Structure 1
Amino acid sequence: MRRKSAGALLSALTTISIGCAMFGATAFASTADIKASNNQIGIQAISTNVNYTETGTAGLTAQTGILDTETGSVPGYALSLSAMKDWWLGNDYFEAEYDHSSGNTTYTGAYQGGVFGSVVGTSSATLVNYSARYGKGFVINNQFMVTPYAELGKHNWDRGVNYGETYTHNYYGIGALGQYSPNGKLVLSANVLYGSTYGSSIAVNSGAGLNGFSGGLGNSSLYKLGVSADYAFTKQLHGNVGVDYTSFRYGYSAVYNGMLEPNSKTNYTMVKVGLGYAF
């Protein structure tokens, strides 16, 4: 009986030890870690892969199918400010971002009336984005939080084709941010947004043999997806990486000076690496 009791005691101690070890691995994982990652000022190096395609429409353009494309990665930087505080609803979430990228893309197209692909060259590109979102975080458990939000933003693309063209639109949307903290230092995030562009427009610069114009473009649905990881090196110093994907379209413009801007689709994939100061 004594041996049996000792064995039972050893088994109990082993079970407790394993339980403590498992608990210790996650004891410091909590929504406090998620909130800490949501209260930051950050700066990031970014690279935006541009995938832009213009297509002709029968009855509107001289050619149908793909007219021209712009592809390539454009380097830049991003600045961000986020906060999660109990201001109004509890776990109120606010985030504002600005990013600026400048570089070159590969233009593939054709001369007027030519065949797509007969002209390949380099086109300058400057991309600027502003966005702000507001939402409320809901605690699912001590490691997981979901935050529905509303977002407003603006996009600007200075395209170096011909004598220069500028595309602009605003957008609004609703989304959700899911965040998971597997331990006391790491927070993994994923977000999705569905929205719509509005106020889409283009301005085409004039030059030799080209009469410029400016006017509205058709609006469209807009989609954004993103994943990221935030790691706390110290309580204040954080490092982060992420990938964001954005997709939208521009509808064709009215006819100006005998010209119109055709339908197009834009896909951006942005890779981000940076540092943040948690407050």
Structure 2
Amino acid sequence: MRPTVRILGKLALMLIATLAGSAAQANDAITAVNNEIGLSIGSQNIAYHESNGAPSWLPTGPDGYMDSEIGSMPSYALTYSRQGSLFGLSNVYTQLNATVTAGQIEYTSGSIVTMTMKCSGLPGTSSTSYCSEEPVQSSFAQNHSSYEIDLSGRLGRAFEVSKKAQVTPYVSLGGHYWLRHAPGAGEDTYTNGYAGIGALTQYALTPRLVVGLDAGVAETFGAASFESNVRYPLGSRPMIAASLGVDYAVSKRWHVTAAYAMAHWRYGASNFQSSHTYEPADWTTTQTVSIGIAYSYR
């Protein structure tokens, strides 16, 4: 078992044990924020890079990557959260989130190799020239469509640290699906699940305005890429995520929200398949800015 998995497992057990303890009554403004159904819209910037990794003889572009995909796309999210009693425990926190991101991003390849004719000798003289084909590396860029689905769930317990502040440690479970139409590769999909831990820290600036800082770490599992009807199992790697959010109560029930979120994860290279192809190691960073509305049902 990977060390990261063992550490996450121990921390998760510690959190579950903590859930059995007592928790203080949360601030009313924060409690209202944590009992919402929200819809948000925003823009997600994705930066994806493939490295040559192993084998090292594969060509890369000037930036050191085999290819990259960078761009911003519209993103839509639906979130349900609840904080209250559950199975006899008070202030149990649960959250479900579904996010869909779709649009156009730019695919750039720095590993295209073409053959060109090169000759030796002195042009315009009777000297014998020797000509041969030699590889020349070039780059290629083109926009293409991209589609992502992210699903996640959380379970934790809220603890009041002051009359205006609350900390909620949690365990998380989620999944990621990405479909891209890279030029020359047809449909290419990446999928993975993940499990991890995190903490949500919230502070009520006023009875209507709450700010929250969320940070978590996780381990991916079941990572794979599908291309040309071939499945490439990918190596699992840790991922990190963080967000900063603001929630303002326009009325008792209706709130407006704004947030900035960042996530970073990697996949390890696959083994060579029967088709004598493989999927290189890669890493992805997403940054999302969003605004939305939410209905507080408590």
Distance 1:258 1:113, change over 3 A: farther
Determine the structure 2 residue equivalent to 1:189: 212
Other structure's SS at 2:32 match: helix
* Cα distance in 1 between the residues matched to 2:226 and 2:77: 25
In structure 2, relative to structure 1, the CA distance for the partners of 1:231 and 1:116 (3 Å cut) is farther
Q: Equivalent residue for 2:6?
A: none
Shift in alpha-carbon separation, 1:117–1:221, aligned structure 2, 3 A: farther
- Structure 2 gaps of 5+ residues are 1-25, 115-135
8 Å CA contact retained: 1:57, 1:63: no
Measure, in 2, the Cα distance between the counterparts of 1:245 and 1:110: 27
Instruction: Name the CA shift for 1:160/1:61 in 2 (closer, same or farther; >3 Å).
Output: farther
In the TM superposition, residue 58 of structure 1 has moved relative to its aligned partner by 4.5
Q: Are the aligned partners of 1:67 and 1:110 in contact in 2 as well (CA < 8 Å)?
A: yes
The answer for the alignment partner of 1:89 in structure 2 is 89
Amino acid at match of 2:99: D
Shift in Å at residue 200 of structure 1? 0.2
Which of 261, 269, 276 lines up with 1:252 in the alignment?
A: 269
Residue 153 of structure 1 corresponds to which residue in structure 2?
174
| Percent of paired sites with the same residue | 31
* Alpha-carbon contact 1:101-1:128 (below 8 Å) kept: yes
Shift, 1:103, TM fit = 0.4
Q: Measure how far apart 1:112 and its partner are.
A: 3.9
**Structure 1 residues 117 and 269, CA gap change in structure 2 (3 angstroms):** farther
* 1:75 equivalent in structure 2: 74
Q: TM-score, normalised by structure 1?
A: 0.84
User: Map of 1:203-242 to 2, 5 A cutoff?
Assistant: 203-205=226-228, 212-242=229-259
Of 50, 53, 64, 1:54 maps to 50
Aligned residues: 244
TM-score scaled by structure 2?
0.79
What SS does the corresponding residue of 1:235 show, helix, strand or coil?
A: coil
Structure 1 residue identity aligned to 2:205: P
1:101 alignment partner in structure 2: 101
Q: Secondary structure at the match of 2:65?
A: strand
C-alpha separation in 1, matches of 2:176 and 2:155: 19
- Give the whole-Å Cα distance in 1 for the aligned partners of 2:102 and 2:291: 17
Give the SS at the match of 1:195: strand
Q: Which residue of 1 aligns with 2:129?
A: none
The answer as to whether partners of 2:244 and 2:260 remain within 8 angstroms in 1 is yes
CA RMSD of aligned residues (A): 1.6
The residue aligned with 2:290 is 272
Q: CA deviation at 1:76?
A: 2.4
The residue number in structure 1 matching 2:202 is: 179
Match for residue 7 of structure 1? none
Answer yes or no: is the 8 Å Cα contact 1:185–1:231 preserved in 2.
yes
Q: CA deviation at 1:224?
A: 0.5
Deviation at 1:111, TM superposition (A): 5.4
In the TM superposition, residue 191 of structure 1 has moved relative to its aligned partner by 0.7
